[in-house]
Structure 1
Amino acid sequence: MQMFERQFVRVNEWLVLLILAAMTVIVFTNVALRYLTNYSLIWAEEVARYLMIWMTFVGAGLVLRAGGHVAITNLHDLVPPPVKRALRIVVAMILLGFFAGMVWFGHDYMTRMGRQLTPATRVPFHFIYAAMPVGFALLIVHFLLVLRHYVATGGSADDRPAGGG
């Protein structure tokens, strides 16, 4: 399982990196063309925007693993350790339910609205809106991989011991 997790995270990291690199190249090229030739690519801003959407959803699971999402811990900090663990279990169930719901609603939205075309590139919005169900499915996988450690300690994947857990 640790091998799968390492490979899964590595592929996810590379995907985010490639999306960021593509977005950077497109925006830099467009700015350079605009200032050097007074010509800009009509599709650059649109494609960069959609790549940013994809990067956000694809990268959300990596941020979750690192404990980088906003967390309100006031109640968690006030209760004794046994209650903290129960509270983390409840939070984990709510998060998994929310993630699954967002996969469902994202897929539904993608299928209903996907026949429209983007203005500049004429790509079906289906490909843009797919970022939501794909991103939340990745969030589910990431969260399941760190769930035991989260429930046991409340920590992120980054503070797990080298052997996993």
Structure 2
Amino acid sequence: MKRLEQIFVTLNGWALVLMLSGMALVVGANIALRYLTSHSLPWADEVARYLMIWLTFTGAGLILRVGGHVAITNLQDALPSVGQKMLRAAIVLILLAFFGFMVQVGWQYAQRMQFQVTPALRLPFLYVYAAMPVGFSLLIVHLLLIARPFILAGDYKALDASDADHHALPGGANG
């Protein structure tokens, strides 16, 4: 199971690297063309915007794993150990319910938008809005993978020295 989790995290990370690289290439090429030829790619801004949307939704789960989202811990810190565990378990259940709801809402919205197309690429908006249910599905998987240590100890999948080689950047390249 640990190996499958590692593969899942690595694939999620590589997807983000590829999207960010694609966005950087398109924006860079558009800037270069604009200054060198006085012409720009009419679809570059659209591609960059949609890649940013996909980056945001698909990257949220990786940030959740390491506790990178905003958290207010005053109540948790004021509770005894058992109360802290119960609060964290309730938080996990609430998040799972919310993420599941957002998958459903995102899918419904994406389906409603399937017949509209983007202005420059003429791509069905279904592909743009699919980022929401995909991203929240990834959040569910990531939350389920970290739920036990989070509930029991309040720990996230923090990157320690041995873990950093495998998870800091996809493929273990830490630059």
Question: TM-score scaled by structure 1?
Answer: 0.95
**Alignment-derived partner of residue 114 in structure 1:** 114
Alpha-carbon offset, residue 90 of structure 1: 0.5
Q: Separation in 2 of the partners of 1:31 and 1:108? A: 36
Alpha-carbon offset, residue 150 of structure 1: 0.5
**Alignment-derived partner of residue 40 in structure 2:** 40
RMSD between aligned residues: 1.4
**Alignment-derived partner of residue 62 in structure 1:** 62
Is the contact between residue 113 and residue 124 of structure 2 (CA under 8 Å) also seen in structure 1? no
Question: TM-score scaled by structure 2?
Answer: 0.90
Q: Separation in 2 of the partners of 1:4 and 1:158? A: 18
Counting matched residue pairs gives 162
Residue ranges of structure 2 left out of the alignment (5+ in a row): 164-175
Asked whether 1:15 is paired with 2:36, we answer no
Q: Which runs of 4+ in 1 moved over 3 A?
A: none
**Alignment-derived partner of residue 133 in structure 1:** 133
Q: Separation in 2 of the partners of 1:26 and 1:148? A: 41
Residue ranges of structure 1 left out of the alignment (5+ in a row): none
Q: Separation in 2 of the partners of 1:74 and 1:115? A: 47
Amino acid aligned to 1:42: P
Amino acid aligned to 1:157: K
Q: Separation in 2 of the partners of 1:159 and 1:77? A: 23
Amino acid aligned to 1:20: L
Q: Separation in 1 of the partners of 2:119 and 2:58? A: 24
SS at match of 2:58: helix
